[in-house]
Amino acid sequence: MPEIKVRIASPVGLHARPASQFVKAAARHGGPVSIARPGAEPVDARSMLSVLSLAIGHGEEVVITAEGDNADATLAELSRLVSTADA
């Protein structure tokens, strides 16, 4: 299962608008997508409540995984979203 580690660039972390954009992008992928802190239990990246429950702040590292067709492209898109400060 492909995965990528990335730091959250948004000054507000992965909350409100950045989380909404992330969840929408993850939902466009046809297969399972998850997000977690390194070493922690992953949550469904297509669920706004699950993503918000992580309370991920600015500068924190996360691990994003995706399965299925276009998993690498999905990871690239999600990585770009969270590693860009204006997201």
- DSSP-derived pairing of the beta strands 43-44 and 3-7: unpaired
Query: Phi/psi at 9 (nearest 5 deg)?
Result: -95, -25
Which residue carries 């590693």 as its tokens?
Answer: 83
Q: Could you say which of 9, 15, 36, 43 is catalytic? A: 15
Clarify whether 58 is annotated catalytic.
Answer: no
Query: What residues does 66 pair with on adjacent strands?
Result: 33
Residues taking part in catalysis: 15
